[in-house]
């Protein structure tokens, strides 16, 4: 199993939108998906539990259980397993970390890919998944504070890679909610690519700002499953980004 963590130390950058769409892309490729939501708000969990409601190939439990129970209790025969973000995550401590590591190692034999959504604040729920992951992807909003957020994220990642998990590979900073008609955002994007050229996601890929993503969150559907006249056009332009990310992960 390959594990990718979607993380940024700033909220409102589209982490949950990207994480859930990556999960749905992987699922559409017939990969067995483990999705772990470390965000207490549980937005990804609500999206996915609604999307798979009534689906017998889907099962759901709490992320907190991965810190307190043996994963041998998980039904690993399902095609999609969701560990949900709940308020109990506020109670995890360093004493629980080894249980989490053991459970993640157990699950590695039963799933193809693990996608982890994290909270925007530095702390154990953001750090714990990085201790076991293979990859980190950092969505970044093109705002005045985006460079500061990118700098802090890269410092944290460097520290974890140096001291705890040397196998981490940084997939890159992925501009999210990018409006190419906005001159301010274009300037910030230019500044980012100049300052962090080696850290940007390759091939100038971005996730654009589109109403279809807001509709996706409301309907609890990936954009390519929304039946209207706009979403398919948006999907044609943006789905290749999710496909590229999943392909990078599973083919390495």
Q: Given a cut of 90, is residue 74 above it in pLDDT? A: no
Region 61-69: what's the mean pLDDT?
A: 89
Quickly state the pLDDT bin for 14 (edges 50, 70, 90).
Answer: confident
Range from 1-5, 12-16, 152-156 that averages highest in pLDDT: 1-5
Closest-CA residue to 220 (of 78, 43, 41, 83): 43
Backbone angles phi, psi at 60, to 5 degrees: -140, 140
Work out the widest C-alpha separation in the chain, in whole angstroms.
53
Structural domain boundaries, residue 90? 2-251
- Convert the pLDDT of each residue in 20-55 to its tens digit: 999 999 999 999 999 999 999 999 999 999 999 989
> Secondary structure of the chain: what % helix, strand, coil (to 5)?
50, 20, 30
Q: What is the CATH number of the domain that holds 40?
A: 3.40.50.300
Residue 141 phi, psi (nearest 5): -85, 145
> What does the DSSP 8-state code read for residue 250?
H
SS (H, E, C) 102-114: HHHHHHCCCCCEE
Predicted pLDDT of residue 72 = 63
pLDDT at position 71 is 67
Question: How far apart are alpha carbons 150 and 164 in whole angstroms?
Answer: 21
**86 or 13, greater pLDDT:** 86
CA atoms of 105 and 89, how far apart (whole Å): 20
Question: DSSP strand E in 49-206: where?
Answer: 58-62, 80-84, 113-117, 135-141, 169-178
What pLDDT, on the 0 to 100 scale, is given for residue 246? 97
Residue 79 has pLDDT above 90, yes or no: yes
Query: What's the mean pLDDT in 166-180?
Result: 90
CA dist., res. 107 & res. 208, Å (int): 34
Total domain count, the chain = 1
pLDDT in tens, 227-248: 887 788 888 889 999 999 999 9
């Amino acid at each position: 199993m390959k594990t990718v963590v979607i993380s940024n130390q700033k909220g409102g950058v589209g982490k949950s939108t990207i994480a859930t769409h990556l999960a749905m892309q992987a699922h559409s490729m017939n990969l067995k998906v483990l999705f772990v939501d470390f965000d207490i708000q549980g937005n990804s969990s609500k999206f996915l539990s609604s999307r798979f409601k009534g689906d017998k190939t889907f099962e759901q439990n709490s992320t907190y259980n991965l810190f307190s129970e043996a994963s041998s209790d998980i039904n690993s025969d399902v095609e999609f397993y969701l560990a949900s973000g709940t308020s109990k995550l506020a109670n995890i401590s360093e004493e629980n970390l080894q249980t989490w590591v053991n459970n993640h190692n157990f699950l590695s034999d039963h799933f193809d890919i693990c996608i982890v959504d994290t909270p925007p604040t530095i702390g154990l729920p953001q750090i714990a998944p990085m201790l076991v992951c293979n990859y980190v992807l950092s969505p970044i909003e093109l705002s005045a504070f985006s460079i500061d957020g990118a700098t802090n994220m890269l410092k944290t990642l460097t520290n974890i890679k140096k001291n705890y998990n040397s196998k981490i590979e940084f997939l890159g900073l992925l501009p999210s909610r990018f409006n190419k008609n906005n001159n301010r955002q274009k300037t910030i994007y230019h500044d980012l690519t100049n300052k962090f050229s080696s850290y940007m996601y390759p091939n100038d890929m971005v996730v654009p700002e589109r109403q279809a993503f807001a509709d996706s969150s409301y309907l609890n559907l990936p954009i390519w499953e929304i039946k209207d006249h706009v979403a398919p056009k948006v999907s044609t332009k943006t789905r290749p980004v999710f496909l590229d990310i999943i392909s990078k992960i599973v083919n390495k």
